[in-house]
């Protein structure tokens, strides 16, 4: 077995074990006070207007789950990323000692406050890349739980934007079904999958095929990247005949780092995993102000997810 095949098998094992870890907490409500939710028709109205559904204001997290899940996640990451052991253990030690407040960190993650996460990294001398990865996977069960409830009676065909209809993050992967030709985008942060036009840039919605191209590995693999010369951004893509539920998205995302490097060498921009598309067209400042003070519009305590 080649070194590449061994690495891929390892990532697929990580994908399976991480899925099992999520399933372990799936039946539990991770929130002390969950995100607000409104009637399906109101949610569909938001989708038709290009406004994603998750509103983080006033959310409170269960103390017992936030601690135990973090320990389980650290154990899993250390098992599959032994080469990053020192960096991961540094984050773990700050976390266990309380120097990094897990509730504050969850608040920052869930409210998409990337600058505050970066401040924690600088303050404690941690690895930004490893903290970003930990933050994404630490927030996943909370966002996935909210996504499942929010999308229960909602038709995602109403959504035409390239950012996630639940949490607003830019897509981490595109999936193209080889036989049917259908394209879907996948969100690393909440696991949401939504249909999207085949020849369109998810970032700037450019449909000019002359400004869209693909960067494909030299080897005959099902991975490539759709690049856009208009906004200089890209999204990695996997082409398979697998049903969406059987695609190991996390394994593909983590296992195509060399493709990221090749695309960046071509001059295209790799979005930080913490970047999010803010709703307010005037900029990020107003939304962050509202999030930090729990004054986001829409919804009420009576409208919360059960």
Based on the domain organization, do 181 and 123 belong to the same domain? Answer: no
DSSP state of 63: H
The residue among 221, 225, 238 whose CA lies nearest residue 264 is 225
Instruction: For the beta carbon of residue 97, count every other beta carbon within 10 angstroms.
Output: 8
Q: Is 302 part of a structural domain of the chain?
A: no
Report d(CA 206, CA 231) in Å as an integer.
Answer: 8
How many domains does the chain contain in total? 2
User: What domain range includes position 74?
Assistant: 3-150
| 112 shares a domain with 209 | no
* 126 lies in the same domain as 177: no
138 within some domain: yes
The 8-class DSSP code of residue 244 comes to G
Domain boundary among 150, 184, 199: 150
Q: Are 38 and 145 within one domain?
A: yes
Q: What is the pLDDT of residues 128-161, one digit of tens each?
A: 999 999 999 999 999 999 999 899 888 898 899 9
Which helix (H) or strand (E) is 245 found in, with range?
A: none
Indicate whether 306 belongs to any domain. Answer: no
User: Nearest Cα to 229, choosing from 212, 208, 209, 207?
Assistant: 212
Domain presence at residue 13: yes
Boundary of a domain, candidates 116, 150, 184? 150
| pLDDT classification of 208: cutoffs 50, 70, 90 | very high
Strands (E), 74-198: 173-177, 183-186, 193-195
239 has a pLDDT exceeding 90 = yes
């Amino acid at each position: 077995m080649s070194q590449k095949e061994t690495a891929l098998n390892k990532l697929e094992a990580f994908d399976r074990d991480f899925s099992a870890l999520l399933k372990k907490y799936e039946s539990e409500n991770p929130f002390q006070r969950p995100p607000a939710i409104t009637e399906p028709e109101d949610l569909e109205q938001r989708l038709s207007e290009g406004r994603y559904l998750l509103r983080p204001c006033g959310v409170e997290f269960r103390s017992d789950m936030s601690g135990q899940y973090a320990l389980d996640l650290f154990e899993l990451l250390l098992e599959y990323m032994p080469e990053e052991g020192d960096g991961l253990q540094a984050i773990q030690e700050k976390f266990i000692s309380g120097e990094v407040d897990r509730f504050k960190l969850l608040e920052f993650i869930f409210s998409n406050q990337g600058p505050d996460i970066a401040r924690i990294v600088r303050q404690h001398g941690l690895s930004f890349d490893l903290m970003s990865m930990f933050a994404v996977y630490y927030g996943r069960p909370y966002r996935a739980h909210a996504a499942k409830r929010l999308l229960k009676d909602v038709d995602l065909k109403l959504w035409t934007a390239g950012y996630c209809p639940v949490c607003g993050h830019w897509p981490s992967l595109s999936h193209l079904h080889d036989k049917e030709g259908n394209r879907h985008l996948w969100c690393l942060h909440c696991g949401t999958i939504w249909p999207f036009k085949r020849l369109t840039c998810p970032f700037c919605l450019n449909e000019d095929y002359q400004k869209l191209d693909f960067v494909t590995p030299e080897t005959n693999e099902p991975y490539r990247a759709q690049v856009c010369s208009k906004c200089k951004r890209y999204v990695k893509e996997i082409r398979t005949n697998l049903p969406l539920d059987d695609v190991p998205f996390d394994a593909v995302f983590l296992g195509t780092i060399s493709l990221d490097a090749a695309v960046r060498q071509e001059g295209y921009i790799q979005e930080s995993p913490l970047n999010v598309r803010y709703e307010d067209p005037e900029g990020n400042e107003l939304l962050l102000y509202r999030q930090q003070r729990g004054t986001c519009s829409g919804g009420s305590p009576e409208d919360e997810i059960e």
